[in-house]
């Protein structure tokens, strides 16, 4: 699925866009699943719109912007479990993480037309710090992503800077790290963007008339352990490829809502 040069590119730049990981039928199946989750969540009164707060946009603009997101989507539709363990995904992950790869969590992000929220530059590290920094995100594009509908921007090589100080732990100072400084990752439906959790990334608002839907799977090496107890959730540690050399088990605290 990828070459040795691709692996080296990921190591040097902290990200890699892989074309055509999923075919049209698989993408259509996941689009249908996303729509189904949103519909069921709304009926269960668990629909959720989120928006980033900060000085990167005027308050009057923030009110217009929404970002629809749900975690652990593989618990809501089997198509996502098939996707996160897809042979093409495993082929890439085993080369850039190693032979033993675990799922950390999954989520979906939907930027609606014309008011899909901007996502300020940030690292994912503060949410779930790990010892060896093998953690990466695999962003599956369910729609074409371009500058108009708010494609992801990354700063190549920024993962080498290590953990940076975030504003309120959620995002970097927008004046120091504007989204416009990043390299836009223009992609087609079926492409997957892999990026390390230390890689600085963000996205502008969706100003188009098109929805931008992404499903994001977060993976790590089975030998890379969290440094604190943040973000424990169901299914954490699911083996995607290889084996778990450590006979351990995570039991997060949870409640049925």
- pLDDT bracket for residue 56 (50, 70, 90): very low
Instruction: Specify the CATH number for the domain of residue 22.
Output: 2.60.120.620
The domain containing residue 142 runs over which residues? 4-241
* 253 occurs within a structural domain: no
* 13 occurs within a structural domain: yes
Contact in structure between 17 and 191 (CB atoms under 8 Å): yes
* 250 occurs within a structural domain: no
Q: What pLDDT was estimated at residue 252?
A: 57
* 257 occurs within a structural domain: no
Q: Which tens digits make up the pLDDT trace of 135-192?
A: 999 999 999 999 999 999 999 999 999 889 887 667 898 888 999 999 999 999 999 9
* 177 occurs within a structural domain: yes
Nearest by Cα to 90 from 80, 102, 79, 78: 102
Residue 57 CA, chain-centre distance (Å), reads 23
**Residue 190 in 3-state DSSP?**
coil
* 88 occurs within a structural domain: yes
Q: What pLDDT was estimated at residue 219?
A: 98
State the residue for tokens 């502008």. 204
* Model confidence, pTM: 0.89
* 255 occurs within a structural domain: no
Count how many domains the chain has.
Answer: 1
* 163 occurs within a structural domain: yes
Contact in structure between 145 and 189 (CB atoms under 8 Å): no
């Amino acid at each position: 699925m990828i070459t040795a040069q691709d692996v080296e590119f990921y190591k040097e730049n902290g990200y890699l866009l892989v074309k055509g990981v999923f075919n049209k039928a698989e993408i259509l199946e996941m689009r249908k699943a996303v729509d189904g989750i949103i519909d069921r969540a709304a009926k269960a009164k668990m629909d959720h719109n989120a928006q980033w707060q900060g000085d990167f946009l005027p308050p009057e603009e923030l009110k217009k912007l929404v970002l629809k997101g749900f975690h652990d989507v593989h618990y809501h539709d089997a198509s996502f479990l098939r996707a996160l363990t897809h042979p093409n995904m495993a082929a890439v992950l085993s080369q850039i993480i190693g032979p033993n790869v675990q799922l950390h969590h999954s989520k979906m992000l939907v930027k609606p037309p014309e008011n899909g929220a901007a996502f300020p530059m940030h690292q994912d590290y503060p949410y779930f710090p790990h010892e060896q920094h093998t953690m990466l995100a695999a962003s599956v594009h369910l729609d074409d992503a371009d500058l108009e509908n708010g494609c992801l921007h990354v700063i190549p090589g920024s993962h080498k800077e290590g953990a940076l100080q975030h504003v309120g732990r959620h995002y970097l100072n927008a004046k120091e790290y504007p989204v416009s400084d990043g390299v836009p990752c223009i992609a087609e439906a079926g492409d997957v963007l892999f990026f390390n959790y230390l890689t600085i990334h963000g996205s502008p608002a969706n100003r188009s008339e098109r929805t931008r839907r992404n499903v994001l799977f977060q993976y790590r090496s089975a030998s890379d352990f969290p440094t604190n107890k943040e973000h424990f959730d169901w299914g954490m540690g699911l083996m995607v490829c290889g084996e778990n050399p450590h006979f351990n088990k995570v039991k997060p605290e949870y409640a049925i809502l």
